[in-house]
């Protein structure tokens, strides 16, 4: 099937509300990020869930984006792919949602932290894959993964100390930075990584968000089990 550059598969009318294409909620960290950001705007949207690593998964995703990867946002005639690109688009599309901090310094640091998450922490991602249903005490990881965890905790503590006075999130109010690190919050919980008390409170604030509670509940209800993320 030919995939148009500006919308879902040929002949399909554009969606009436934004449409977000995601993978498995239990495993797809990249899907969670823009889903959470979009949820926090308060705008109605639809979701298409395509279970990953199944026969035909990539073909189904390519009905929405030639990249063949989730997430994909379809907003009328516009298609946006890549988690951070979608979040940036949402900040422009819904400016009243305040997805970036209003303060220039806080906004610059939130963007820097978000981009560091987007491009880094390979050992953490590899050795502690997102698996919301997992509760694994005694899990062990490499010094490289621990260095990634230490850097994440340093980032969170720094943002909280400099910009977190106005609320429980990294820069006070919820921002894209919190969406980008939400899967790390879930990873550290699943693998019971030790964290300081202040960081534990921040993590709980993220988990307590109503959209996060909805995502977690849906992850537990999913039937798929991907063994490469269960080992």
> What is the extent of the structural domain holding 30?
19-96
Model confidence at 164, pLDDT cuts 50, 70, 90, reads very high
Query: 163 and 75, same structural domain?
Result: no
Check whether 7 has a pLDDT greater than 90. no
* 120: in domain: yes
Cα–Cα distances in angstroms (integers) from residue 201 to residues 56, 93, 130, 150, 197, in the given order:
41, 31, 20, 17, 6
Q: If pLDDT is split at 50, 70 and 90, which confidence band does 3 have?
A: very low
**Cis peptide before 103, with omega less than 30 degrees from 0?**
no
> Percent of the chain, pLDDT > 70?
95
* 4 pLDDT tier (thresholds 50, 70, 90): very low
Q: Is the pLDDT of residue 191 over 80?
A: yes
Q: Say if 132 falls within a structural domain.
A: yes
- Cα(185)–Cα(136) distance, rounded to whole angstroms? 15
In this predicted structure, the answer to whether residue 34 has a pLDDT above a threshold of 80 is yes
Are 186 and 137 within one domain?
yes
CA distances from 1 to 9, 20, 74, 207 (A): 8, 20, 18, 40
Range of weakest confidence among 12-16, 203-207, 225-229: 12-16
Number of domains in the chain: 2
- What is the percent of the chain where pLDDT is above 90? 89
């Amino acid at each position: 099937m030919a995939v148009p550059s500006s919308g879902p598969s040929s002949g399909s009318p554009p969606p009436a509300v934004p449409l977000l294409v995601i993978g498995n909620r239990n495993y797809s960290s990249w899907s969670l990020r823009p889903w959470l950001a979009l949820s926090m705007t308060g705008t109605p949207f639809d979701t298409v869930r395509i279970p990953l690593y199944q026969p035909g998964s990539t073909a189904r995703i390519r009905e929405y984006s030639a990249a063949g990867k989730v997430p994909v946002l379809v907003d009328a005639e516009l298609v946006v792919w890549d988690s951070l690109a979608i979040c940036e688009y949402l900040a422009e599309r819904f400016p009243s949602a305040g997805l970036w901090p209003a303060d220039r310094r806080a906004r610059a640091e939130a963007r820097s932290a978000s981009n560091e998450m987007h491009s880094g922490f390979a050992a953490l991602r590899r050795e502690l894959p997102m698996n919301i249903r997992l509760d694994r005490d005694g899990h062990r990881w490499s010094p490289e993964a621990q260095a990634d965890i230490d850097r994440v905790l340093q980032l969170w503590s720094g943002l909280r100390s400099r910009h977190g006075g106005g609320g429980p999130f990294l820069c006070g109010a919820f921002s894209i930075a919190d969406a980008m690190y939400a899967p790390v919050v879930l990873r550290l919980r699943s693998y019971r990584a030790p964290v300081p008390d202040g960081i534990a409170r921040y993590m709980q604030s993220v988990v307590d968000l109503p959209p996060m509670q909805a995502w977690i509940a849906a992850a537990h209800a999913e039937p798929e089990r991907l063994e490469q993320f269960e080992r």
